[in-house]
Structure 1
Amino acid sequence: MTTVGEVVAALEAAYPPDLAEPWDAVGLVCGDPAEPAGRVLVCVDPVDSTVDEAVELGAGMLVAHHPLLLKGVHGVPASTPKGSLVHRLIRANVALYCAHTSADSASPGVSDALAQTIGLTVRGPLSGDGPTGLGRVGDLPRPVPFNEFVRLVAAKLPRTVTGVRGAGDPDRLIRTVAVCGGAGDSLLADATRAGVDAYVTADLRHHVAGEHLDSTSDAPALVDVAHWASEWPWCDQAAGVLRAAFGGNVDIHVSTRRTDPWTLREDSLES
């Protein structure tokens, strides 16, 4: 039987912990490396619904992109939200492994999965040396108007309440695209320097987006997607890493739970 430790080793070969940002928390959160991990669930967020799903599946391990305990804690009592999750995982004998910025910078990593999902041929990182680094730059198979490109992104990613927003000339032809899974406003200047036609990322803020578009006449058009949706394609990628490592010896599942926090929008409410 494949063990938790062997699954961790496969994940860390694909997403080396030394690629993680200094402030990040990656690695095994709970679980015994010697215990069996015959069934694994991969998700974006380690939250109630994905822990429920792991327990319902009888998984021995939950692999998440986002950390559970990013900020320092002095304890994990079951009376706190995160402590409750830790206790539930331990009681159900489910190990938890988190690959956050280690998966962001790996090659292939989170942004490669996003780029592949929207049909880009990746050239390299948006910010980084060699094949690794944050974000990716790639090319569309054919140029399309920006309004069509926004619709393409929306069609390729899982639907969310907040949907997909575009900022830029609807008729601008989009050939080259930068992407960054998750919150990517820190790479706006990199996208401009890369000379791309559009930049796809999540969590763009009003002033930051406006100042970017006003910064230069050829600033990339912006596509803002839900944070969860931008990183969900990575789940298939990570599942593929484990299938390649263990074949049929480990039963690998990708979470079907939408853990985007936004659940309502005005036009979806009954009058």
Structure 2
Amino acid sequence: MPTLRAVLAAAEALWPADGAESWDAVGLVSGDPDAEVRHVHLTVDAVPEVAREAVALGADLLVAHHPLLLRGVTTIAETTYKGSVLATLVRGGCALLAAHTNADVVTTGTSAVLADRLGLVEQRPIEPGARPGTGIGRVGVLAAPMTLGALARHLVDVLPATASGVRVSGEHDRPVRTVALCAGAGDSLLGAPEVLAADVYVTSDLRHHPASEFRERAMLSDGPALVDTSHWATEWLWLDVAAAQLADATGVRVTVSDIRTDPWDFAVLPSSAPHADGTDEGPQSTDPEGAAA
């Protein structure tokens, strides 16, 4: 069996740390580099439930997309969320590795996987990175034009279910062909030339003021529509690809957590929600498990 040190070397080859943003905190969070690794478990977020799952499965390493210790902490007491995660993993003999923006920018990173799942061709980064083909976000072209509403429905079908679903700013029947996207939080790219030249921009965690300004500018200049998705959902798609790559590189068993770490459990909508054509659709609720809210 390979050591953790060898698995870390494989992860570095797949997701080079020098591709991470300067503010990021990627790499080994806890664990003994000389320990043997037989099983690796992948998740978007290292939360207590996922830590318990990894230990119960006998995993020797948990790879999380989001860094647990991105910002400084003054305690890892088990009464805290981060302390609970670390204590569970350390006691269970499971190391923790973060692969964040260094896994976003590679040619098989989070945005590239989402673009592939949407069927985009002629892909290129929104902001190119240091290596050919790498960079933040992706721009591509649909094989055939579709309406904005159809693209939103396609996203709902591609992404794992969440309470927040998919929110859209733009005319339902507007034709779209060129799609810019950024898996995870991407409002920093709202002003990027590649985004402004697209027919629609798909990303997550959009705040009111940036989204409102983008919408109003688009209405004045026939700019792109805007689609807001679940941060967790867009990045969860990457885990299967990352698992296959890591298994091929190391020969160890690699599994993916199905635990939904999206923070929202259900949504309650107005009893008579407006349809895109102005008509009412009747009572509305969204629940990722299919139950009524």
TM-score grouping bracket, smaller chain normalisation: over 0.9
CA displacement, residues 16-50 of structure 1 (integer Å, 9 cap, x when unaligned): 11111111110000011111111111110000121
Q: Is the 8 A contact 1:55 1:94 kept in 2?
A: yes
Identity %: 48
1:261 is matched with 263
* Mapped partners of 1:231, 1:242: distance in 2: 17
Label 1:204 to 1:122 Cα distance change in 2 as closer, same or farther (>3 A).
Answer: farther
**Structure 2 equivalent of residue 76 of structure 1:** 76
Are 2:115 and 1:115 aligned?
yes
Higher RCO (CA < 8 A, seq sep 6+): 1
Q: Match of 1:16? A: 16
Q: CA RMSD in A?
A: 1.6
2:155 matched to which residue of 1? Answer: 153
Q: TM-score, normalised by structure 1?
A: 0.94
**Stretch moving more, 191-200 or 98-107:** 191-200
* Equivalent position amino acid for 2:245 in 1: V
**Residue 69 of structure 1 aligns to a residue in which SS?**
coil
- Length-normalised TM-score, structure 2: 0.87
Partner of 1:243: 247
Give the direction of change, closer, same or farther, for the CA distance of 1:127–1:31 in structure 2 (3 Å limit): same
Task: For 1:26 and 1:108, locate their aligned partners in 2 and report how far apart those are by CA, in whole Å.
Answer: 18
Is residue 224 from structure 1 mapped to residue 228 from structure 2 by the alignment? Answer: yes
- What are the superposed Cα offsets for residues 81-110 of structure 1, whole Å, 9 maximum, x if unpaired? 211211111110001000111111222211
Deviations 1:197-240 (A, max 9, x none): 11111011222112112224232111110110011011112112
Q: Any gaps of 5 or more consecutive residues in structure 1? A: none
Quick one: distance in 1 between partners of 2:248 and 2:197?
Answer: 36
Structure in which a larger fraction of residues adopt helix: 1
Contact kept, 8 Å, 1:192 with 1:219, in 2: the verdict is no
Report which of the two structures shows the higher radius of gyration computed on alpha carbons.
2
Question: Any runs of at least 4 consecutive aligned residues in structure 1 with deviations exceeding 4 A, and if so which?
Answer: 191-194, 268-271
Alpha-carbon contact 2:181-2:201 (below 8 Å) kept: yes
Structure 2 portions without partners, runs of 5+: 269-284
Helix, strand or coil at the partner of 2:190? helix
Cα distance in 2 for partners of 1:148, 1:191 equals: 25
Matched pairs, number: 269
| Residues 112, 122 of structure 1: 8 Å contact kept | no
